[in-house]
Amino acid sequence: MLEYRHFPLKKALTYLMFSPVFAYFIYSIQEILFNQTSPVPSLDLSYVLFLGVIVAFVSLAIAGYVVDRIHRTYTICFATAVIPITLDLVRTFLPIVSSSQAYIEVLFVFALFSGFSVVTLSWSIMVNRTVVLRYRGRLSASMFALALVLFLIFNIVGSTPVGATPFAIELAHILVPVGLLISLLIRPWRWQSYPLAVSGNPTKYFIPMTLLLLAHFLWYHGTMMSIQGLFRTVGEANFSSLGEYAGWTQYEPLIVAIGAMGAGFLADLRGRKPAFNTLVLSMGLLAIFSSTMYGIESSGGQGSARVILQAWPLLLMERLVEGFLLGLCIFLIWAELGSPKTKGLRLSSILVVLSGYFALFWVIQAGPFALQLPGLVALVGPQIAVLLTLVALYTTSDAPELRGREVEMEELSLDFSEKMVKETVEAFVEDEDLDSIRSQVDLIDVGTEISDQDFREIIGEDFNDIVSFRDIKGIGPAMEKKLRAAGYTSAAQLAGEIPSRLSRRVEGIGEERAEKILEAAREVVKSALKNNGEK
């Protein structure tokens, strides 16, 4: 059952148990990328990474197609999380003949990239189908932030060996299975899936997001190239990144986690569109004011020039914006907006774009690639980034609102069972007016073919004569007298009552008997409405 009034703690616990999985994926891929060592000695690292990215893209396309046709995505999410960690355990602890070692390593890399992409997709779709929009942002942000904190812990303890294996891997080998086991014990496959979505065009968000990614790319590389140029000007070549210069490299994931948490909570409390506008505005402010945080100071003498770099404020602003971007654009918006029948393919397309963007960063910065961007990027990149953020902010003006508009877009009907109606309405209105609302829904259902004028005539002053108390099963002369003494004057009035209030107002009636009387009253009223509507 969907929780509308209270945060879904049980579901949140299940979804948070996947944070060690995400942390393990990020750490393992980082180790492959930045160690510059191929897991398969006979294959070049660039070739292995290229195949891994291709496998991830193909896996996203297939998974996007599958999850649109399978409502219970927990099995997919669980299986694709288990396969990589199982292969890692096998290659770490089991003796493998040298002829099979290369195949196991390649299979592990492919499972790593494929598992990361498919778990991200299926986890997001699963949350979208089981948690309402008002809580989805903070839940997704909490999971992502916890994953980044675990990733930070893996980085801190990563160099500590346990036998022949780094302690970070040993820790991951414990946390990932434990987290998956806890989620398994809660049995999330038994949860009902709902086609929740907001009607609208996702392109209204895709265009400004693309402009935002391009602005971030130009700003980041333009700024880094400008700072490196300043250090070369003064004869220094010791700058590689803001994190290393500020001494905050290990704690960068924590800053990103704070940004992601801010995105999730703002998206829940204020809505997706205000949160997205805040992201665009923050990127614009970063591009405008970042140039004031670095420069060259010269006292006039030869060799007295030195670089002035406010590294930690610039790093803090950059990582917060990036965390906000990741928290908002990976798990939110795309699965929430548009047809629920194609949310898997829609989200997989977005994840392909984001994966390609991250891969482009890694191609330029790390590994055996180290591509050089033209100097024009340093000259005009930040200025173009400001222009792109302004255009992105303009294009978000007609982006649809999501907050308060999400509905169950498929199989919407008034023909619910009594139990389903009670559970659904209780989620919104407590329990006092539940049966009253149900009776109104019933009356609307039977009156769909009656005009407003005819309906007013049907329930006019003579309606009491058409349906009397005596026509209702369970009401005799004594009960009718008690009902009238309690203020009830018509069967229609009685049909809109609730059992608890009826039992309180009429002496000698328990809630069980009151419920039977009210059910009989509604049947009689509905029958009378139908009969009179056909006349």
CATH number at residue 46: 1.20.1250.20
* Positive/negative CA dihedral, 43, 44, 47, 50: positive
pLDDT above 70 covers a percentage of the chain that reads 75
- Tell me which of 169 and 13 has the higher pLDDT: 13
- Label residue 19 by pLDDT band (50, 70, 90): very high
Mean pLDDT score, 361-381: 69
Strand partners for 469: none
Do 339 and 442 reside in the same domain of the chain?
no
Q: What is the CATH number of the domain that holds 365?
A: 1.20.1250
Phi and psi at residue 407, in whole multiples of 5°?
-135, 165
CA distance 204 to 83: 37
- Label residue 206 by pLDDT band (50, 70, 90): confident
pLDDT at position 4, please? 59
Which one of 194, 210, 236 terminates a domain? 194
Residues 6+ apart with CB under 8 A from 526: 442, 443, 446
Nearest one of 327, 321, 209, 317 to 264, comparing CA atoms: 327
Do 67 and 204 reside in the same domain of the chain?
no
CB 253 within 8 A of CB 153: no
pLDDT at position 259, please? 92
CB 227 within 8 A of CB 35: no
In tens, the pLDDT along 476-535 reads: 778 888 888 887 777 777 777 777 778 878 877 877 788 888 888 878 777 776 665 555
Do 172 and 235 reside in the same domain of the chain?
no
CA distance 15 to 432: 33
How many residues make up the chain in this entry? 535
Phi and psi at residue 182, in whole multiples of 5°?
-65, -45
Burial of 326 (0-12, 13-18, 19+ CB in 10 A): buried
pLDDT at position 455, please? 41
Which one of 360, 383, 412 terminates a domain? 412
CB 176 within 8 A of CB 24: yes
| Number of compact structural domains in the chain | 3
In tens, the pLDDT along 392-402 reads: 888 887 777 76
pLDDT at position 310, please? 83
Do 405 and 518 reside in the same domain of the chain?
no
Distances (CA, A) of 29 to 112, 177, 230: 8, 19, 32
Nearest one of 486, 473, 488, 451 to 520, comparing CA atoms: 473
CA distance 331 to 326: 8
Q: Tell whether the model's pLDDT for residue 75 goes beyond 70.
A: yes
Do 467 and 529 reside in the same domain of the chain?
yes
Distances (CA, A) of 164 to 159, 167, 187, 491: 11, 9, 36, 81
- Tell me which of 430 and 246 has the higher pLDDT: 246
CA distance 450 to 134: 37
Average pLDDT over all residues of the chain: 77
Do 92 and 209 reside in the same domain of the chain?
no
In tens, the pLDDT along 398-449 reads: 777 766 555 555 444 344 445 554 555 455 444 444 455 444 444 444 434 4
* SS3 letters across 280-321: HHHHHHHHHHHHHHEEEECCCCCCCCEEEECHHHHHHHHHHH
Mean pLDDT score, 356-376: 70
**Residue for token pair 């419920």:** 515
- Tell me which of 96 and 7 has the higher pLDDT: 7
- Label residue 71 by pLDDT band (50, 70, 90): confident
| DSSP-derived pairing of the beta strands 407-408 and 294-297 | unpaired
Do 428 and 520 reside in the same domain of the chain?
yes
* Angle, vertex CA 122, rays to CA 118 and CA 126, nearest 5: 170
Q: Tell whether the model's pLDDT for residue 47 goes beyond 80.
A: no
Phi and psi at residue 249, in whole multiples of 5°?
-55, -45
Q: Tell whether the model's pLDDT for residue 94 goes beyond 80.
A: no
Q: Which tokens is 321 given?
A: 């914006």
Nearest one of 483, 484, 485 to 502, comparing CA atoms: 483
pLDDT at position 451, please? 44
Do 321 and 207 reside in the same domain of the chain?
yes
DSSP state of 198: B
Mean pLDDT score, 308-324: 87
pLDDT at position 119, please? 92
Phi and psi at residue 486, in whole multiples of 5°?
-85, -5
- Tell me which of 478 and 199 has the higher pLDDT: 478
pLDDT at position 22, please? 92
Q: Tell whether the model's pLDDT for residue 462 goes beyond 80.
A: no
Helix spans in 68-97 (H)? 74-93
Do 153 and 223 reside in the same domain of the chain?
no
Do 145 and 20 reside in the same domain of the chain?
yes
Do 242 and 131 reside in the same domain of the chain?
no
Residues 6+ apart with CB under 8 A from 43: 102, 106
- The H or E element containing residue 165 is strand 165-166
CA distance 51 to 114: 11
DSSP state of 196: E
In tens, the pLDDT along 99-144 reads: 667 778 788 888 989 999 999 999 988 888 888 888 888 899 999 9
Do 266 and 394 reside in the same domain of the chain?
yes
Strand partners for 294: 309
Residue-range definition of the domain harbouring residue 436: 418-533
CB 344 within 8 A of CB 67: yes
pLDDT at position 365, please? 65
pLDDT at position 223, please? 86
In tens, the pLDDT along 261-273 reads: 999 899 888 888 8
**Residue for token pair 């007016």:** 433
Which one of 140, 163, 194 terminates a domain? 194
CA distance 115 to 357: 19
